[in-house]
Amino acid sequence: MNASEQPPRVRLRPEIEKMQPYRQGKPAAEDAFKLSSNENPFDPIPAVLEAIAASSVNRYPDGAATALRATLAAHYGLTPDNVHIGAGSASILAQLITAAAGVGDEVVYSWRSFEAYPGLVMVAGATSVQVPNTGDHRHDLPAMAAAVTDRTRVVIVCSPNNPTGAIVTKDEFVAFMATVPQTVLVLLDEAYIEFVTDPTAVRGTELLADYPNLVVLRTFSKAYGLAGLRVGYALGAEYVLDAARASAIPLSVIEAAQRAAIVSIEHQAELLERVGHLAELRDRIWTSLGEQGWSIPRPHGNFIWLPTGEHTAWAAEVFSDNGIVVRALAPEGLRVSIGEHESVEKLLRAAEEVVVKLRTPSTEATLD
């Protein structure tokens, strides 16, 4: 074959070829803090390490995750049939979108929201309908309800919303559910629910009995610090979860993940105490940012949203120069996770440097 001659390309789905592979939060330099993936900064508790060590590796895991489903069912007062386990709640999102929406069908969600949603909808062959957030970075639920058509198969509600940190209130959610047809699957993505201290926030587990078309998604990755083991869960109607189970890649939730998740529920009080510390730290950082001159929505997850707009790439560099790796989501803003106590001083120094420049009109032109 002539070296300059390209072999014919295999035929791929054109819409998939155009997609960007998932971009992970940048790895942090040795002395930098990686605050780009909303990870939990705490080391695992000894009981989790013991559970991992006790897991077998030469055998396949229990594909039905029987023990973990029983643990979660007892915890929430449900039956194990109303619980589904996935290798991260992102994989359950993929399963449910694929199960409900195909070519010609629509999936409605807010934007900006979780970076994974557009790709998962695209891979399913369905069409994304993105409803812009309100001016204060919240879901616009009336507009989302209005975007539902006969082609809509799934609506995703993310509370707290990644990356803006805003919650949906229970009242807003109930009003929204009253207008959405019961034949449309509503996914309430609560990846950060454990960090929520606002009593007005929606909590899907309290509403499952009222809405048979509601599925609640939760994860052990964030509050429970098991991101590296990949384990999340869905709660909802058995036949809907059966469709997710049918769409899943079999045996992808490993035994170590199942065991670590069970132990985490057993040690919930200890782990949620850590979550409480992170939530306090978040509130303190938010207050300090306000004093610096930032006008940002109250954060409810383990991260803070800085609406840096067109200056996002520059602002991310300022953070990087200060030893903080953030998630830059241009052209809207950047998201910075609540991490180690030692990272706070650097975070605030970087944020101050950014806000001072952003607030000085004469320097604005030279930022990028």
Which residues here bind ligand PLP, judged by CB under 6 A? 38, 88-90, 114, 158, 162, 189, 191, 219, 221-222, 227, 232
Residue nearest to ligand PLP (CB): 88
- In the DSSP assignment, the letter for residue 86 is E
Q: How far is the CB of 256 from ligand PLP (least distance, A)?
A: 15
Q: How far is the CB of 4 from ligand PLP (least distance, A)?
A: 44
Between 112 and 311, whose beta carbon lies closer to ligand PLP? 112
Cβ distance 241 to 83 under 8 Å?
yes
Between 85 and 99, whose beta carbon lies closer to ligand PLP? 85
Q: How far is the CB of 356 from ligand PLP (least distance, A)?
A: 30
Between 64 and 227, whose beta carbon lies closer to ligand PLP? 227
Cβ distance 269 to 161 under 8 Å?
no
Q: How far is the CB of 210 from ligand PLP (least distance, A)?
A: 23
Q: Would you put residue 77 in left (φ > 0), alpha (ψ -120 to 50) or beta?
A: left
Q: How far is the CB of 214 from ligand PLP (least distance, A)?
A: 16
Between 221 and 322, whose beta carbon lies closer to ligand PLP? 221
Give the integer Cα–Cα distance in Å for 356 and 354: 6
Q: CB under 8 Å to 299, separation ≥6 — which residues?
A: 160, 165, 282, 286, 305
Q: How far is the CB of 104 from ligand PLP (least distance, A)?
A: 26
Between 221 and 308, whose beta carbon lies closer to ligand PLP? 221
Strands 106-111 and 152-158: parallel
Between 162 and 308, whose beta carbon lies closer to ligand PLP? 162
Strand ranges inside the chain, DSSP E? 33-34, 83-86, 106-111, 127-132, 152-158, 185-189, 214-219, 232-235, 303-306, 324-325, 327-329, 333-337
Between 36 and 38, whose beta carbon lies closer to ligand PLP? 38
Burial class (CB in 10 A: 0-12, 13-18, 19+), 342: exposed
- Of 142, 117, 138, 120, the residue nearest 130 (C-alpha): 117
Residue-wise over 246-257: b if at least 16 C-beta within 10 A, else e?
ebbeeeebbbbb
Between 186 and 358, whose beta carbon lies closer to ligand PLP? 186
Q: How far is the CB of 14 from ligand PLP (least distance, A)?
A: 27
Q: CB under 8 Å to 164, separation ≥6 — which residues?
A: 112, 133, 137, 138, 297, 305
Q: How far is the CB of 51 from ligand PLP (least distance, A)?
A: 18
